[in-house]
Amino acid sequence: MTTQQPNIVLIMADQLAPQFTSSYGHPVVKTPHMDRLAERGMRFDSAYCNAPLCAPSRFSFMSGQLVTRIAAYDNASEFLSSIPTFAHYLRGMGYRTCLSGKMHFVGPDQLHGFDERITTDIYPSDFAWTPDWELADERIDKWYHNMDSVREAGVAQTTFQIEYDEEVAFFARRKLFEYAAEKQHPFCMVASFIHPHDPYVARPEWWDLYDHDAIDMPALTIPFDQQDGFSRRLMDGIEASTIVPSDDDIRNARHAYYANTSYFDSKVGHIVQTLEECGQLDNTIVIVTADHGDMLGERSLWYKMNFFEHSARVPLIMAGPGVHNGAVNSPCSLVDILPTMLDIAQTDQTPIPSYGQPIDGRSLWAMATTGAEDHGVAIGEYCAEMTAHPVIMIRRGDYKYIYCPSDAPMLFNIANDPRETTNLADDPDHVELAQQFAAEIAAGWDMDTIRHDVIAKQKQRQTVYQAMQNGKRADWDYNPPRHASEEYVRNHMDWTEAAAKTRFPPLEEN
């Protein structure tokens, strides 16, 4: 434990597969700012999301609890305000907490422990995006992914995603200067961006960073009739089984994704630069991660919603005081972030507050500070669209096991088979291992009970959503409070007061 609580700044991408970064070895993609953090910090090479979909992943990340424990099933599941988050814990340990950007909170509580939220969100906060497991084969065209993002990929001067991320970065950097000027409390800032999430549309300067002909194509494509059962349903759901993108479409989409990854990386650089400018970098733990990855045409799949490596893996890089320089390969996941933050924040004088809640993750702080492997496990759960039964993933050691009651189980040796081309579930040499994984899932997850609860929660939310379409509209979307009469220079203040309030570093007092 430390005698001084360091600041924590967590920078989150949306839909960023680590395989598509130079920090994790991609030969084309340029992520120099993430590279620099990795060069002076710890890179986690087997980090996973706990659900390969935005809202469920983020709710697990915030709470340190798995999807099925908190009923965070899909992108319209309510995140209950009674569930403590790392923002609650850190506030209890004396931290100021702030969210700038996306967290996809669903429900009337749009803070979930943060002192401040300085931007709105980018996606709806109501129950509109509720899937229906009783009609699992029916597409919901209003918000289901389709292949338009691939076929329409390219260049634009602006998009709603660019506008959003510019706002997120600006307000995050301004708040960091405010914290530095106050010098009263340690702070935890979460800056959460939407890029490189599709639509795959990039500004010209980021598109031009890459030679179009040098954009690599997917390493593995699989015809529809040779896909596993879940992947066939996924291809049907995103219409990839009927709309086959051309090579030009695929290269354009990957080009734009790479460009937007570099754009996100530039925001990492801006925030780190701000920490340096306000004199806080040497006392700040910087964490870079994402909510899930993107298949980007690998295995002929797109987006996420599955537990193959490009969808389920996330980048995870930590740098700052006390962090060892290196890389570790022990499987870990986003639920591990909460206990890690508590270890970072705890001192002899500030014990961890107890809220009587189960924590499904374990702290990664010992690995981050020593580089010693802890040989942990990563658990994933998927209970959203394009399935009618829960999907469970266990990654332990070199092996990954994926199980869904409606599909044949899959077992892969990730170390020997990183592209997951050989299913070992029925291999004679791996029968015992497959049986052990199957027994572990049978003991840990009651599939029928989970399915019943998923459907019951869907019906509840569908009823509420339909009713709310009648009468006067009530929105849960977060509207950041702004007091224009207190901003910049106003007639109730001396203009020198406004100048002094925002100047950093402040002028020395005589």
What is the per-residue burial (b if ≥16 Cβ within 10 Å, else e) of 210-239?
Answer: beeeebeebeeebeeeebbebbbbbbebbb
User: Active-site residue 145, yes or no?
Assistant: no
Task: Give 124-145 as a DSSP string.
Answer: --SSTT---GGGTTS--TTTS-
Q: Decide if 129 contacts 76 (C-beta within 8 A).
A: yes
Strand partners, 327: 43
From the candidates 33, 49, 54, 278, give the one annotated as an active-site residue.
Answer: 54
DSSP state of 466: H
Alpha-carbon distance of 328 to 370, in angstroms, equals 10
Exposed / middle / buried, residue 124 (Cβ in 10 Å: 0-12, 13-18, 19+):
middle
Is 286 within 8 Å of 11 (Cβ atoms)? yes
Does 188 qualify as catalytic in the annotation?
no
Q: Which residue has the tokens 């306000």?
A: 278
From 33, 104, 197, 255, the catalytic residue:
104
For 18, how many CA atoms within 13 A lie in the half-sphere containing its CB? 25
Residues in the chain: 510
Are residues 13 and 196 in contact, defined by beta-carbon separation less than 8 angstroms?
yes
Positions marked active-site: 54, 104
